[in-house]
Amino acid sequence: MKIKELRALDTDELRVQLDQANKEMMNLRFQFTMGQQNDTSQLRIARRNIARIRTLLREREIETAPEGKSQ
């Protein structure tokens, strides 16, 4: 998904997307290991999608945190 599409989702939907992306990454790894998948670029795309979603979740977490408190 593109970042604009992800930003339109609420936090709960982003968490669902993150779960789905993690499952997709796991399936791609298994396929690659078993020799069913030869296109390694799919792994890269899945990894970047996970990073995008995690970044958005972290941004929202920071926005909702009280000022002056950092973790």
Answering whether pTM is above 0.75, one says yes
The CATH fold assigned to 3-64 is Helix Hairpins (1.10.287)
Tens of pLDDT, residues 18-30: 999 999 999 999 9
Q: What is the domain partition of the chain in residue ranges?
A: 3-64
pLDDT tens, 23-68?
A: 999 999 999 999 998 888 999 999 999 999 999 999 999 998 887 6
Contacts of 18 (CB under 8 A, 6+ apart): 50, 53, 54, 57
